[in-house]
Amino acid sequence: MTFKNIFKLFTVILSSNCFSQNLILNGNPSITNKVIFLDFDGHVAVGTLWNSGNAVNALPSTVSNTNKINIWKRICEDYRPFDVNVTTDSLRFNNAPANKRIRIVFTPSSAWYGSAGGVAYLGSFSWGGNPGTPCWVFENQLGYNAKSMAEAASHEAGHTFTLRHQSTYNNLCVKTAEYNPGLGSSITGWAPIMGVGYSKNITVWTSGKSSVSCTTIQYDHGGISPGITSQGFLNYLADDVGDVSATAKILNLNTITLLDSGIISTPSDVDAFKFTICVNRYVSFNVKPWALDTVNYDGANLDIRFSLYNSSNVLLATDTSLTRLRTLVGYNFTPGTYYFTIDGGRSSNYSDYGSLGKYFISIKSNNPPAIANTILTNSAICSGQSATLNYTSNGTPTNWQWTVSGSTITSSILQNPIIQFNSAGLYTISLLASNANSASCISIQTINVGSLPSISVIGSNSIICPFESTTLIANGANIYNWMPGNYSGFTQIVSPSVTTNYTITGSNGSCTNSIVTTVSVSPNFTINVATTNSLLCPGQSLTLTASGANSYTINPGGVVSNSLILFPQITSTYVVTGSVALCSKTTQKVINVKPDFTVYLTASQTTICAGVTISLTASGANSYTYYPGGLTNNIIVVNPTVSTTYLVYGTLNQCSNSNQIEITVQNCTSIEKNNDFLYDFNLFPNPANNFITIDLGNKTGTIEIINTMGSLIFQEDLNGINLLNVNLNNWTKGIYFMKYSNKNNNLKVKKFIIQ
């Protein structure tokens, strides 16, 4: 398989200390729009490129819940520096944008693919789709080992962020290993996550030679492209602790123990902590990286570097061991202000580029002041709110001096003053609480006043039609809750059946605000179409009338009206679109028109002498009525004495049609003409097949053959011909009429059939 298409692996990863509850595990629950979903529950992949487009039915993982949690912790720590939530909650995955999520399927079902420990498509985190294209970890190929499964998962997820393998090459630029196996052993044994490090303790993101070529350096993060932080993928988390003394986090060391923590999130990140000593004291600083244990530091990513300075930035002590991940420093302090820094370090096996992750600080000291005060702060203060300042003390102070520094400086000598925090930002609170008999030191605490969300909703106050949906998108907060429904996520697709008010509560940390938006639903309506008749004869009219809406358009024709007189010639479908406000509905009405037909009328002769009897023959219908006379047969005999127009009405399926014929009556004075006119002719065989013969008796005149539609099919002028043969091979079967007329325009008609 090529790198641009697919990546398989025997992979690597570390871990993380994230919140968990009943296997609904979330590494960074405040992040909802970027998700790495660890799917241990089985998955059916359809509509993807996997398995040549065929479905993949992956069985659930068989590892224990304890191992699942450890797998999640390791992956969580690998992605700790970035703005993504590593979760086992499918709802978090489903609510995330389709192009900002990836599903990692842990399964023993590997036969469909092969012997790899895992596989992923390059860049598929941003492919989108529902449910999208997953990547895979085949636990049966990894011996069901939790560490190996976690490594595979982080590696495959790295591919979905466009990362290729970290490889090794010799001096001639010949690749010696597709997967960089790393260096060293024991606690500082190292390998790249995008290499292979099943046997290594430190497996981190790396800047090294890519599998593309020995001259291509891949920065797993922080580079231009490819990489985890390249455009369209993840970002570094915001720095949680300032880098230098001026922006350092302030610690209160007036007690004998203090615990704190932080995150080194980028290669250049340094975390600084400031404190004040008011009496001579010995203080020890123990800083440890996050790990699954504190003996072998299994799964740690961060190699701690610790440095201690005075207020003049003079280095007092440091711990930069190349063989340990934790640091331990003790120092005898005189009164003054000091600060220390924590940084990610290197060893003889690796640089500090990938030394990122969470750390924990444990500070112990002796000789606390006689009165030790600890400021109690409310961490859930938001801009525009007020808070009462409180503290605890091991003595009984009688004097208080509070100072609050932030956007403004406020002072108070009250024991518990109420302070108004008008704007968001970092505030420093200091307290000197003492009495006449006991010394005290200033207690200092910093609080971060959160920003009250200013929530807006795109798509708010919209009007929709019944049974339609609309998309609401919330802005201005990090986490959202939608009611009714108790949904989460920044976007919701709603389909209310009636006008509904939605309350969206947005949270930035502990600061919340709400907004109400209304989705109005237009009243439902039904279009009714009535007609004066639903079955017509050709050419008949009817009136179509629509009701139930405010305006209507009738098609075909685009007529804007609720009523229309129609004259359909054939069965037709009329489409009526009715509108109420911005909503429209469409219905159809079929008007059935009976088949059209033609009434044919012929005469045995059309020019006769007065008193001669002729026959009129009608065809094409079921019943007939002739005028004048009112006769009702299809064949009638008449002997007009004057030229007469005969009209026949034919009826078929309760519909009528008509035809007419003109009979010309002449005053005959010549016996010869009359005898000639009365001359008959014979035709045979009748019915005919391939030919028909006409016995004319050596007469002169014209023979015409006409079909039932009145079209002239054959014509021949007679010049004393006795027998005339007509070839019928290419003629259509049916009824035909043969008409003989002489030079005096006398007419004789006979019917024959081609079968």
Domain final residue pick, 593, 615, 635: 593
Burial of 147-174, coded b for 16+ CB within 10 Å and e otherwise, reads bbbbbbbbbbbbbbbbbbbbbbbeeeee
Tokens of 701: 């005149």
The single-letter DSSP state of residue 221 is S
Do 95 and 219 have their domain in common?
Answer: yes
pTM higher than 0.85 for the full model? no
For 197, other C-beta atoms within 10 Å of its C-beta total 28
What does the pLDDT read at residue 669?
Answer: 54
Q: Which amino acid is at 134?
A: P
User: What φ, ψ does residue 742 adopt, rounded to 5°?
Assistant: -100, -175
Domain final residue pick, 365, 381, 404: 365
Domain final residue pick, 550, 565, 593: 593
Do 572 and 556 have their domain in common?
Answer: yes
In a domain, 613, yes or no: no
> Do 688 and 728 form a contact (C-beta atoms < 8 A)?
yes
Do 84 and 221 have their domain in common?
Answer: yes
What does the pLDDT read at residue 379?
Answer: 67
Do 467 and 539 have their domain in common?
Answer: no
Bridge partners of residue 176, in order along the sequence:
none
Tokens of 353: 């580029």
Do 381 and 349 have their domain in common?
Answer: no
Question: What is the H or E stretch that residue 379 is in?
Answer: none
Do 505 and 406 have their domain in common?
Answer: no
Do 166 and 113 have their domain in common?
Answer: yes
Instruction: State the CATH number of the domain containing residue 725.
Output: 2.60.40.1930
Residue 515 DSSP SS3: strand
What does the pLDDT read at residue 10?
Answer: 35
Residue range(s) defining the domain that contains residue 426? 373-449
In a domain, 463, yes or no: yes
In a domain, 610, yes or no: no
Count up the domains in the chain and report the number: 6
What does the pLDDT read at residue 14?
Answer: 31
Do 100 and 35 have their domain in common?
Answer: yes
Do 405 and 256 have their domain in common?
Answer: no
Do 205 and 309 have their domain in common?
Answer: no
* Positive/negative CA dihedral, 379, 383, 389, 393: positive
In a domain, 443, yes or no: yes
In a domain, 444, yes or no: yes
CA gap 570, 536 in Å, rounded: 9
Tokens of 738: 């043969």
CA gap 341, 318 in Å, rounded: 9
What does the pLDDT read at residue 460?
Answer: 65
Q: What is the mean pLDDT of each run of 10 residues along the chain (755 residues)?
A: 36 36 83 94 94 95 95 97 96 92 97 94 92 95 96 97 96 96 94 94 95 95 86 91 91 88 96 92 96 93 97 95 93 95 94 96 91 79 89 88 89 93 88 83 84 85 82 89 85 87 87 90 91 87 93 93 90 93 90 92 87 88 92 89 92 91 78 46 85 80 83 83 85 86 76 86
In a domain, 625, yes or no: no
Do 38 and 160 have their domain in common?
Answer: yes
Instruction: State the CATH number of the domain containing residue 578.
Output: 2.60.40
Question: What is the H or E stretch that residue 651 is in?
Answer: strand 644-652
Do 460 and 404 have their domain in common?
Answer: no
CA-based radius of gyration for the chain: 49
In a domain, 657, yes or no: no
In a domain, 638, yes or no: no
